[in-house]
Amino acid sequence: MLVKNLLPAFVAIGSAAAQSGTCSISGGTTTINSQADATGLASCRTVRGSVVIGRNAGPSIDISGPGEITGDLKVADNGIIETLQSSDLATIGGKFQLKNVTKLTSVSMAKLTAAKEIEWDTVTNIESVTLGPLSKVDDVRISITSLRNLDALDLGNVANLKLDNNARLSKFSSNLRTLSKNLVLASNGIGGIGLEVELPNLVWAVELDINNVTTFSVPSLKTVNGSARFGSNFFQSFSAPNLTATTSGDISFIGNAKLTNATFPKLEAIAGGLTIANNTNLDELTGFPKLKSIGGAILLRGNFESVEMPALDTVRGTFDASSSADISASCEAFDKLAPQNQGGNGVIAGGYECTSNNTQANEDTDGSTSGNGGSGGSGDDKDNGAAGMALNTALFAVIAIAGFAVAL
């Protein structure tokens, strides 16, 4: 809708609303197709409705005037616009969407501090973003952009945060304190392997899905309500020094090729399962000194030379460990915790298997093992060369099935 078509709607508001600078949009959405259309909103202090920048608008659009848009601000499928700015906009009540705007290089909204949702997707030439910074937002997704930093965001508490396929984004440091839903990181940085992540104030999260990062620092994290999953990362060491529990989900490390150390010094309970598999440089699995309770299954696959969980007193699912090296001494300690029908004290409620010298320990995705030096029997090897996501998915399936079987 052209701004000239908005005049009847504005007149219909009445003099009181007009004097207050509130402009209600007939039909709920106005489309800006030119700078002249944008200038038509300059007298509005609040726009009640959504503003859409049309596909042919640009190359420069300035929507200065309104301090608030109660609905969405959207720019989508526009191959012309290069700059988007406002010297007044402080609040977007709905979504701030930039989608498939491949010539956009600059966004300047120095007063913008609040939006319901951020969705920036396929903004492949963006070089500069200046916001308030943005500190009040529920959901953030930034995908397939050329952003080098996220300094425009000052996040404290969010529901969802997803950063993926941002080729120039090499570092993300945030004062984020809580995540009420999901944090997803994947394929950022040069070659998809360059993102350094620092979250020094994060104390609580529901779901963590961390992929393709070089560092992930969460020194204050105390509780994960759901799951914490780390796949195909490039860090050598990971520590959660203050994490005490997951209250409803799993912890997993799968396919982290450079990982040599994973430490959880205060972790006592995992409500779901524990999966550590195909981390080929992880020789010692000794970073769970206080872990007492596992609500699901334990699945361990790798080149371990030592596996220790000295405080373990409850495993409601199965225990299945296999290494390409000799872990017979470790297996002897776990033998004592096996189900009573396998000669143990019953700490492990489900089936039990612990084996050494399995040449396919990093490929076995169905829970079967081969080799010797352990207790609980051995299954037939199955040659499975699938890697990456296929391996991760299969391993998740194994532990999920094991937990389900125990529940039955």
Q: How far apart are CA 316 and CA 55, in angstroms?
A: 56
Q: How far apart are CA 408 and CA 406, in angstroms?
A: 5
Q: How far apart are CA 261 and CA 116, in angstroms?
A: 39
C-alpha distances out from residue 206 to 95, 186, 196, 221, 222, Å: 23, 18, 21, 11, 11
How would CATH label the architecture of 1-154?
Answer: Alpha-Beta Horseshoe (3.80)
Q: Which residue type occupies 104?
A: L
What pLDDT is attached to residue 380?
35
Q: How far apart are CA 176 and CA 166, in angstroms?
A: 20
Mean pLDDT by 10 residues, the chain (408 residues): 38 36 90 97 97 98 98 99 99 99 99 99 98 98 98 97 97 97 96 90 98 98 98 97 97 98 98 98 98 98 98 98 98 98 98 97 55 38 35 45 43
What pLDDT is attached to residue 364?
60
What pLDDT is attached to residue 113?
98
Burial of 11 (0-12, 13-18, 19+ CB in 10 A): exposed
Write out the DSSP string of 299-324. EEEE--SEE--TT--EESS-EEEEES
Write out the DSSP string of 57-92. --SEEE--S-SEESS-EEEES-SS--EEE-SS--EE
Tokens 């290089």 -> residue: 105
Domain ranges of the chain: 1-154, 222-408
- What Rg value do the Cα atoms of the chain yield, rounded? 27
What are the structure tokens assigned to 265, written together?
A: 């010094």
What pLDDT is attached to residue 126?
98
What pLDDT is attached to residue 398?
45
Output the CA angle 190-182-388, nearest 5 degrees. Answer: 50
What pLDDT is attached to residue 20?
52
What pLDDT is attached to residue 61?
99
